[in-house]
Amino acid sequence: MPTLMIQGTTSDAGKSTLVAGLCRALTRRGISVAPFKPQNMALNSAVTPEGGEIGRSTALQAAAAGIAPHADMNPVLLKPESDRGAQVILDGQVYGHMDAIDYHAFKRRARESVLAAWRRLSSRFDVIIAEGAGSPAEVNLREGDIANMGFAEAVDCPVLLVGDIDRGGVFAQLVGTLALLSESERARTRGFVINRFRGDIALLEPGLDWLTAHTGKPVHGVLPYLQGLLLDAEDGVGLAGHEAGTPDLRVVVPALPRISNHTDLDPLRLHPRVSLTIVGPDRAIPPADVILLPGSKATASDLAWLRAQGWEAAIHRHLRYGGRVLGICGGFQMLGEAIDDPDGLEGPAGSVPGLGVLAMRTRMVAGKQLRNVAGTLLGTPAGEGVPVSGYEIHNGVSDGPALARPLMLLDGRPDGAVSEDDQVLGSYLHGLFDEAGACASLLARLGLAGEEGEAAVDFAAHRERELDRLADGLEASLDMAAIEALVGGSGPVSNYL
């Protein structure tokens, strides 16, 4: 059951990107490969064909391998709802809500699911490329670990350690992490990969020689900083937007504390005539043509944050002056008259007033909606009948007169709402801008007039090009013969429990 695990010195060291690149590179070499992330903590997620929920980055890695995503590829997904608690997704389905202490006690049960999922994948594919989470040097989390070395030790697989040189201190990252591992964990760490290098490699080579001499472990590659690489992010949105040269449509998005599936914004980052601004806390809200409210894992508390930051008044002022507002999933729910959560599914039980710009209210109910969907846009001559597809991940059920004017049909049923004046639009659909035609039609409805001969943004095609560019960079910079030898030489399973 050949498995290679990629671990990092820190979060965002490049583990997810390296796994995606390896999946594409090995697939191009005719190897049947699947990604695997034992435990992930992220608010960007994807829906698998069988109706499971996994981390978005793992779904991207499956796409890199040319296969459908499956819940077995990410058996434990933690979706933070507060600083201390998270929704626990086990084998693709909601298991419950836990605080950090409760989850620590739950790890033994989670470990059983992790190893069972790994066994099932191993029976279907020639090679598994596993990804760690955070860092294996987090000594406070070592007991019962299933995310990093605990998994690697259980399945007896080799590990490559990735460090991010762009952060600075990469040699300290790598040597310090290695020093905090146990003897057996250091032994299974077979080498290093340095990520995001820019400059003259000749200046780095003395450091590489020192690192190998000091640790006795080889550097298997120095990966270049790929300028402008845009692939589905694992989690943090950051505040990087997109500045068009001469923007014809200004889109402003609040960086909600529990923003989810912000990959919905990625096609807008590519559009040459769209300026996308992400507004963090305590920042002035800039002028906009469109205010876009994204998804949220904690809709009521994020709505309270919006109010505290002055967004409610800004939205009403924006609409009075003819601007448009689009809400996606949790952002769509916020646009209604009220959000009712009688059972406390997303926070304290109770009801909170919405922004009141759509005549509807939302009730949080048990049983998360998880499905991939497809349909057509409605409502304007330019958009009527244009294909649209994506996925739904939400608890809430919305009802009210506003839904009599849906934005689209999905699998034959109406979805979303459009205000009578066409200024306010909302939908439960994630990925609504991913298809070229839908992106062009929706942006036209939001105020972006098309230009003759203009090419529509096709994010799916862009993703494929970026995965190939990533794999090309890996092929040129990694010792692929050593990588294949590591995969082919990984040992059998030792003790599962």
Compute φ and ψ for 452, nearest 5 degrees.
Answer: -60, 130
Question: Could you list the active site residues?
Answer: 329, 430
CA separation for the pair 210, 195 (Å, rounded): 18
- Report yes or no: 248 and 448 within 8 Å, Cβ to Cβ: yes
DSSP per residue over 211-228, as a string?
Answer: HHHHHS--EEEEEE--TT
- What's 237's DSSP letter? -
Q: 């086990």: which residue's tokens?
A: 90
SS (H, E, C) 324-365: EEEEECHHHHHCCCEEEECCCCCCCCEEEECCCCCCCEEEEE
Ordered DSSP codes for 52-82: -EEEHHHHHHHHHTTS---GGGSSEEEEESS
- 279 has which bridge partners? 254
> Which residue's structure tokens are 């050593």?
482
Residues paired with 110 in a beta bridge: none
What lies within 8 Å, CB to CB, of 230 at 6+ separation is: 266, 269, 270, 462, 466
- Residue 421 is classified by DSSP as T
Biggest alpha carbon–alpha carbon distance for the chain:
71
Q: Is 229 helix (H, G, I), strand (E, B) or coil?
A: coil
Spatial contact of 415 and 377, defined as CB atoms under 8 Å apart = no
What distance in Å separates the CA atoms of residue 405 and residue 379, rounded to the nearest whole number?
8
H-type helices in 9-166, by residue range? 15-28, 56-64, 100-124, 149-155
Paired strand residues for 362: 339, 398
Contacts of 485 (CB under 8 A, 6+ apart): none
The two three-digit tokens of residue 375, written as one number: 């349909």
Q: Which long-range contacts (CB under 8 A, 24 or more apart) does 241-247 make?
A: 241/269, 241/275, 241/276, 241/277, 241/278, 242/268, 242/269, 242/270, 242/271, 242/274, 242/275, 242/276, 243/275, 244/271, 244/272, 244/273, 244/274, 244/275, 245/272, 246/273, 247/273, 247/274, 247/275
How far, in Å, CA of 147 to CA of 141, rounded?
10
